[in-house]
Chain A
Amino acid sequence: MIQIKRINDKYLVFKVEDIRFLRQEHLIGGTLIGTLPQIPQQNVFCGLPLQLFKEEVIFLMKNGIAEVVDDSASHVTALTSQTPEDIENYEKQRHTAQQLQIKEYTEGMLERRRQALEKKGMSGKIDKEVVVATDNAISYVTDATTTNETLEGYNMFSKENVLSDLLEHVTSAQYYIFNFLHSRGYFLSPGLRFGGNFLAYPGDSVRYHSHYIAIGKEYEEKFPIKSVIVGGGRLGTNVKKCLVLGGENDEGGDSVYCIEWSGFG
């Protein structure tokens, strides 16, 4: 199951493989929000992590594809629960790894030197050489050896808690229209750019232009004709999209309508 990290009320995914999986298998794209260290000013092409919008998190939780993890709390717990023994252990591990690196490095160096001397026909010389290396002579580089999952106090939020929390911010109408389009194979992205809840693409948003500006409404929820139908309809038609308005009707069925300027009047 994919782990979504909740940090500062944002829902984030840090693993590239998870992002690929969500995108290809579940049409869930999110938004990359990390700046690139080399070019922090530009914000068009961002890097990790991926932020999921709330409807996406609800969908993934409801369908058992992902679980939500209290990432910041677990880091605090991990840091404050460190004992002197933990630190001593870490130092030991570090020292062992360091020695191993030094050994590998010097042996590799000797081997290369031996080969070079052999080429020149001076193989006798190598046996007279001594390698001097001190503990700190070689820079110590390491991959992260611990993962978040091994940290103590790494808590999953319960599905019920996360869902009830999310549904305080997402109206059922918004989730309705998200689910309506997503379940029909549409790829959704945030819709603010065109004044809607979502933009719907017929496939991956990298490959297609969006077809719809989608807005979810409760069945009897009032909305102004001038700004929503006239404004949204005209904007949509001008950018080659349909405005989709929809909600769940009294019988639990779908009442979904597409709005387009007629071309006259």
Chain B
Amino acid sequence: MAEQIRTNLVHQHLWSDVVIHQTKLTDLVHGTPPRTLHPDDAEIRSEWLVPARSNDDWTIKQWDECFREAEGVAGKDVDRMLMAIVDNDSTIVYYFVYKGLVKPRKN
């Protein structure tokens, strides 16, 4: 699944430096988008992605674990990740997951 997400990021969304990190719990994908993803971002920032299947369930605990793993690999705090949600028909959708409360975007 991580491989499928990497392919999608590189070829459809033109990300660069996309790397898969295998952690104890799950694969995590790290990469850099071609432009800023959020209007509040001052500059392009590299992102951590969590692979997930659209028909699966999720828990709050899993987010805690994913952030912990990403922070372990990154060696610093991670304030947001992306969930890469993969469907059976190969569609992949991406959702920001922020740690704690953040103001909704102004658009």
On A, residues with C-beta under 8 Å from B are: 184, 211-212, 217-226, 228-230, 233, 236-237, 240-242, 244-247, 249, 255-265
Q: Which of B21-29, B57-65, B69-77 contacts A (4 or more CB under 8 A)?
A: B57-65
Scoring A219, A221, A265 by chain B CB atoms within 10 A of each residue's CB, the highest score goes to A265
Query: Which A residues touch B63, using CB under 8 A?
Result: 255, 257
From B60, B92, B102, B105, give the contact of A246 (CB < 8 A).
B60
Chain B residues, CB < 8 A from A259: 95-98
- Is B93 touching A230 in the complex (CB atoms < 8 A)? yes
Q: Which residues of B sit under 8 angstroms from A211, Cβ to Cβ?
A: 103-104
Q: Are A233 and B58 in contact (CB under 8 A)?
A: no
In whole angstroms, how far apart are the Cα atoms of A32 and B105 in the complex? 31
Interface residues on B, range: 35 or more
* CB-based A-B contact count at 8 angstroms: 117
User: Do A255 and B61 contact each other (CB < 8 Å), given the known contacts A261-B95, A262-B94, A262-B95?
Assistant: yes
Interface SS majority for chain A? mixed
Cβ–Cβ < 8 Å partners of A226 in chain B: 54-55, 85
Asked whether B59 lies within 8 Å of A217 as measured between CB atoms, the reply is yes
Is the Cβ of B58 less than 8 Å from the Cβ of A223? yes
B45 within 8 A of partner (CB) = no
Q: How far is the CA of A221 from the CA of B59 in the complex (A)?
A: 6
CB pair A242 B104 closer than 8 Å: yes
Smallest CB–CB gap between B62 and chain A, Å? 9
Q: Does B89 contact A (CB under 8 A)?
A: no
Contact between chains at A262 and B60 (CB < 8 Å)? no
Across the interface, do A230 and B85 meet the contact criterion of CB distance under 8 Å? yes
Assembled-state Cα–Cα distance A241/B106 (Å): 9
B18 at the interface (CB under 8 A from A): no
CB distance B37 to A225 under 8 Å? Answer: no
Known A-B contacts A225-B55, A225-B56; A265 and B61 likewise in contact (beta carbons under 8 Å):
no
User: How far apart sit A262 and B63, CA to CA, in the bound complex (Å)?
Assistant: 17
Can you add 20 more A-B contacts, CB < 8 Å, to A223-B57, A256-B101, A258-B102?
A: A211-B103, A212-B101, A219-B61, A220-B60, A221-B59, A225-B52, A225-B55, A228-B58, A230-B54, A242-B103, A256-B99, A257-B60, A258-B96, A258-B101, A260-B95, A260-B104, A261-B96, A262-B95, A262-B96, A265-B94
Given contacts A225-B52, A230-B54, A265-B92, contact A260 B60 (CB under 8 A): no
